[in-house]
Amino acid sequence: MTSHPRPFRESMEYDVVIVGAGPSGLSAAIRLKQVDPDLSVVVLEKGSEVGAHILSGAVLDPVGLDRLIPDWRERGAPVRTAVTDDNFYVLGAAGQVRVPNWPMPRLMSNHGNYIVSMGRVCRWLAEQAEELGVEIFPGMAASEVVWAQNEDGTERVKGVVAGEMGLLSDGTPGPHYEPGMELHGKYVMIGEGVRGSLAKEIINKLNLSQGHEPQKYGLGMKEIWEVRPEKFHQGRVVHTMGWPLGRNAGGGSFIYHDEDNLVMVGFVVHLNYENPYLYPYMEFQRFKHHPMVADLLEGGKRISYGARAISEGGWQSLPELSFNGGVLLGCSAGMVNVPRIKGNHNAMLSGIEAANAAAAAIAAGRAGDRLTDYDRAVREGEIGRDLKKVRNVKPAWSRHGLWPSLVLGGMDMWGAGLTGRNILRTWKHGKTDAEATGKARDFQPIDYPKPDGKLSFDRLTNVAFSFTNHEESQPCHLRLKDPTVPIAVNLPEYAEPAQRYCPAGVYEVVEDASGPRFVINFQNCVHCKTCDIKDPSQNIVWTTPQGGDGPNYPNM
C-alpha cells in the first residue's frame, strides 16, 4: 500500500474515551456517569449502529446487570426469557447420550439465567447511557492509537483516531476523504471485543502479556432459526459435545429457545486443532443433520448467520489489564468462562470496575497513569473468582481430549467450588493456536457432505444472512505482511488453511494459467478475526475497515 503524509486532524478532549459499544464499554460509560454526572464520556462504535457487530450465544448471567442497573426489570430491559430447563448431551453420529445434571458442578447450572440477544441488550444499554449524557458515535471506527510520552520517557495512550473515511484502495485519499479526528482522554478504555486491532497493538507494544500464558481462542458460528411452534420450548437450553468433531478438534454446540419460536443454534470449534484440512464452517453445517438437531430444524427457516472468535485462555491468559493512560475491558483482555460459555457478565463487571477506578483517579486529579486498582479489582474480585474455578478445563481438554477432560475438569471445578482451591493447581496452555496447526503431509483431507440448502448452506449463501457490506474502493483491511507467503509457504506446507478456517469465504486459492493465486475477498468479512489468530505463518493482520462497514446483525 502506498503511504501518504499524515493528515492534519482536529482533536476533542474528554475525561474518558471508550472504544466499543459492547457490554463492557457501555457498562463502563453508564457507571462513570452514575459516579460523577459531570464527567465527559464518549463511546466509539465501528458498527453502523449499536449492536450491529454484537454476536453472542447468549445465556446471560445477570450478575453484572444487577450491579449496574438494579431496577433493570422495571426499566424494560430486553431480558425476558428465563432458562426453564438445562440439557447436556454427548452426540454420536446417529444418536445421543444425555449427561444428567446432578454430577455437573453447581457453577454450570443455568438456574436464574436468561436467554437473550446481546444485540438487543446493548441497544438498550446505549439508551440508558445516552439518558445519562454519554455521547455515543456509531459508524466511527477507531483505527489508530494516539501515543504520548510521560516526563519519565515512558509511553502512554493519549487517545485514538476515529472516523477516517474515503481512502482509495492504494491508501491515498479519495475525492471524499475525511481525515477523522483525534479523541483524547484522561483515560482510554479498550472494549473492542476479541483480538481487536488496537488492543493487539497495545498488548504487543507494552508487553502486557509477558509472564502470562498465550491467549487461546475458539471460532463461534451462529444461526437464528424460526422453528415450527410444536418444536419450540421457550427457555430451553441445550449444549452438546462430541460428534461431528470427534478427535479432530475440541468444541461443541448450543441451542437456545428464546421467544416467538426463535431458536439460536451455534457451534464452537477450538482453534488449537492440528489438522489443517479441518473446515469449521462445514462441521457446523454437518452438525445440523444430526437426527436430534434435524428434527428441531426441519420445516423451519434460517433467519440470520454470523461468526466471531471467542477468547478461551481464561485466568492464565489474562494480560496486564491497565497501562499508562488506559485499560483493557472484557473480551479485549479475555474474560470468558469457557465451560459455562459465558463472558458477557464478566465484560459488564469489568466495565463497572474500570469506571470506578477511572472516576476515583480523575477525582484525585490524576490522568494518563496506570489504573492499578482496576487490575486488583478484576483479579481479586468476582471476575477473578469466576475464572479461577474453571482455569484448568481448557488446558485439560487440549491435552487429553473430550472424555478425560470431562472427568478431570469436573473434579477440578467441584474442588474449586467446595474448597476454593483447584486440585490440579494451574495448568499451562503452551502453544498458540497458530503454532498448533500441523503440516498437511501428516493429515488426510476431510470429505464433507454438500449442503442441502434446507438444513445446511454454503458459506456465501449464509454470509448474505449476516447483511455484511464493505465499501469496495477502500484499502483491504486484511493485510499480508508478506504477499508471497500464502502460495510459497502456506499452500505447500499447510494446504493453505485460510480457505477453510474463514467462516465467510474471504480467502481463496485460484488456479489460472500462471499457477495458483491467493485471493482476498474482503467484502465478505464478518470481522471474526479467525485469520489473524489461526494463520500458521502469522502473516495476516486484521485491521478495522472504515466505520459502518462489516456485518449488520439485527439481533444476534
The per-residue pLDDT for range 269-303, each reduced to its tens digit, is 999 999 999 999 999 999 999 999 999 999 999 99
Flag whether pLDDT at 366 surpasses 70: yes
The secondary structure of 449-514, three-state, reads CCCCCCCCCCHHHHHHHHCCECCCCCCCCEEECCCCHHHHHHHHHHCCCHHHHCCCCCEEEEEECC
- Assign 339 to helix, strand or coil: coil
* Maximum C-alpha span of the chain: 68
User: Torsion over CA of 18, 21, 24 and 29, rounded to 10 degrees?
Assistant: 50
Asked if 221 contacts 266 with a C-beta cutoff of 8 angstroms, the reply is yes
Q: What is the mean pLDDT of residues 2-13?
A: 79
Separation between Cα atoms, residue 21 and residue 362, nearest integer Å: 22
Separation between Cα atoms, residue 44 and residue 547, nearest integer Å: 10
Around Cβ 85, how many Cβ atoms within 10 Å? 13
DSSP 263-329: EEEEEEEETT---TT--HHHHHHHHTTSHHHHHHHTT-EEEEEEEEEEE--GGGG----EETTEEE-
Separation between Cα atoms, residue 227 and residue 284, nearest integer Å: 18
Separation between Cα atoms, residue 208 and residue 201, nearest integer Å: 10
> At 265, is the pLDDT very low, low, confident or very high (cuts 50, 70, 90)?
very high
Separation between Cα atoms, residue 62 and residue 79, nearest integer Å: 9
Q: Looking at domain 11-70+120-212+319-390, which CATH architecture does it have?
A: 3-Layer(bba) Sandwich (3.50)
Query: Is the torsion defined by CA of 79, 81, 87, 93 positive or negative?
Result: negative
Separation between Cα atoms, residue 448 and residue 463, nearest integer Å: 19
Q: Report the phi/psi class of residue 518: left, alpha or beta, with left for phi > 0 and alpha for psi in -120 to 50.
A: beta
Q: What is the mean pLDDT of residues 214-226?
A: 98
Instruction: Describe the crossing of helices 344-363 and 23-35 by its angle, rounded to 10 degrees.
Output: 30
- Assign 185 to helix, strand or coil: strand
Tens digit of pLDDT for each residue in 83-109? 999 999 999 999 999 998 887 888 889
Q: What is the mean pLDDT of residues 471-480?
A: 96
C-alpha grid cell, residue 530:
479467525
Nearest CA among 543, 528, 49, 542 for reference residue 306:
528
Residue with more model confidence, 415 or 47: 47
pTM of the shown model: 0.96
Domain-wise residue ranges, the chain:
11-70+120-212+319-390, 81-116+215-311, 392-426
Tens digit of pLDDT for each residue in 14-66? 999 999 999 999 999 999 999 999 999 999 999 999 999 999 999 999 999 99
> Which CATH number is 81-116+215-311's, of 1.10.10.10, 3.30.9.90, 3.40.50.720, 2.160.10.10?
3.30.9.90
Tens digit of pLDDT for each residue in 336-349? 999 999 999 999 99
Strand 181-190 and strand 59-60: the pairing is: unpaired
pLDDT value for 153: 85
Flag whether pLDDT at 3 surpasses 80: no
Tens digit of pLDDT for each residue in 373-388? 999 999 999 999 999 9
pLDDT value for 5: 67
Separation between Cα atoms, residue 542 and residue 187, nearest integer Å: 25
What spatial distance separates the first Cα and last Cα of the chain, rounded to whole Å?
35
Task: Give percent of the chain above pLDDT 70.
Answer: 99
Nearest CA among 75, 60, 499 for reference residue 258:
60
Average pLDDT of the residues of the chain: 95
Nearest CA among 51, 18, 62, 504 for reference residue 308:
504
* Residue entry with cell 479467525: 530
Asked if 268 contacts 57 with a C-beta cutoff of 8 angstroms, the reply is no
> At 2, is the pLDDT very low, low, confident or very high (cuts 50, 70, 90)?
very low
Tens digit of pLDDT for each residue in 169-213? 999 999 999 999 999 999 999 999 999 999 999 999 999 999 999
The secondary structure of 98-121, three-state, reads EECCCCCCHHHCCCCCEECCHHHH
pLDDT value for 1: 44
Strand 540-542 and strand 478-480: the pairing is: antiparallel
Asked if 484 contacts 539 with a C-beta cutoff of 8 angstroms, the reply is no
Helix (H) or strand (E) holding 173: strand 173-178
